[in-house]
Every structure is written in structure tokens, then in C-alpha cells.
Amino acid sequence: MADSIPPRDWLLRVWDDEAVAFDVASGDTHYLRPLTRALFQTCQADPGLDAATIAARTATALGVALSADFLNAVDDGLDSLRRIGLLQAP
């Protein structure tokens, strides 16, 4: 069940560990909090990973433990990314 990075144009700007993203097609602007930004970075580097791998790699990148809370937060974050359209569910 792998998401893909969409072909539509997006503009992304990162400051420290947060980001803002602009969806050129819709004109919508979104804020990405640190975890969501990190998740997106993981997906961008390697599209098509499953949720578990995304969580693991992001945890490593952030230097945090793979706790139950973290996994929940990852689910929420991936949902956000799909909802705004930065990730496309297959």
C-alpha cells in the first residue's frame, strides 16, 4: 500500500524543522509541522515505502524512539499529507 509523490506542481520552503507548501493547482497553502515535514522528506527520498518503513526511517532521522505514541503521530501525519495532496494514496 504505497503512496506516491503527486505529479502536480508544489512549492516547498523549509525553515529550521518546519515547512510551508504551496499547491500550484489549487492555490492552497499549507503548514507542515516538524514531524509531518520529516515524514514527507522520507517519502520524497524514497517513494513507495510502506508506513512501517516510513516510520522507522523518520524515527532514525529525528533521533527518536519508535514508541506507540510516535507511530500514532506518524499515522496522523501521513493522513495529513494525503489529505492536502502532497502524498497520493494508490
Partner 1 sequence: MKLLQLPPAELRRQLAGPGVWLRTGPFSVRVRSHVPHVAEGLTQLYGQFEVRSPHEAFADFHVSVDRPRGLRRWLRPQVNFAVDGVPPFKPLPLDQAFPMLEWGLNWCVSTRAHQYLIIHAGVVEKNGRAAILPAPPGSGKSTLTAALMLSGWRLLSDELTLIDRRTGLVQPLPRPVSLKNQSIDIIRAFSPDAFVNRESRDTVKGTVAHLRPLRDSVRRQHEPARPGWVIFPRWQAGAAARLTPRSKAQTFMFLAENAFNYSHLGADGFRVGSALIDQTACYDFEYGILDEAVAQFERLAAEGSA
Partner 2 sequence: MNAPDLLSRTLRAPDAARALSMGEWDLLLRQAHHAGLTSRLYHILRQAGCDEAIPAPARWHFEAADTLAARQQVAVRWEIAQVKKALGTAGIPLLLLKGAAYVAAGLPAAQGRLFNDLDILVPREALDAAESALMLAGWHATGLSAYDQRYYRRWMHEIPPLQHVQRATVIDVHHAILPDTARSRPDPARLRAQAVAVPGLPGVRVLCATDRILHSAAHLFHDGELPHGLRDLSDLDLLLRDAAREADFWPRLVARAGELELGRSLFHALRYVRHFLATPVPASVDVALARFAPARPVQALLDAVFTRALAPMHPSCEDRLTPAARLAAYVRAHWLRMPPRLLLPHLLHKAFLGEDAREAKAA
Containing H/E element for 22? strand 18-23
Residue 64 site contact among partner 1, partner 2, none (CB < 5 to 8 Å, cut-off depends on kind): none
For the chain, the straight-line distance linking the first and the last C-alpha, in angstroms and rounded, comes to 7
Site residues for partner 1, window 11-30 (CB under 8 A)?
Answer: 11, 13, 15-16, 18-20, 22, 24, 27, 29
Query: Can residue 8 be called a binding residue for partner 1 (CB under 8 A)?
Result: no
Query: Can residue 89 be called a binding residue for partner 2 (CB under 8 A)?
Result: no
- Pairwise CA distance, residues 9 & 24, whole Å: 6
Residue with cell 527520498: 45
Residue with cell 506518524: 74
**Could you list the residues that contact partner 2 (CB under 8 A)?**
24-27
**Could you list the residues that contact partner 1 (CB under 8 A)?**
11, 13, 15-16, 18-20, 22, 24, 27, 29, 31-32
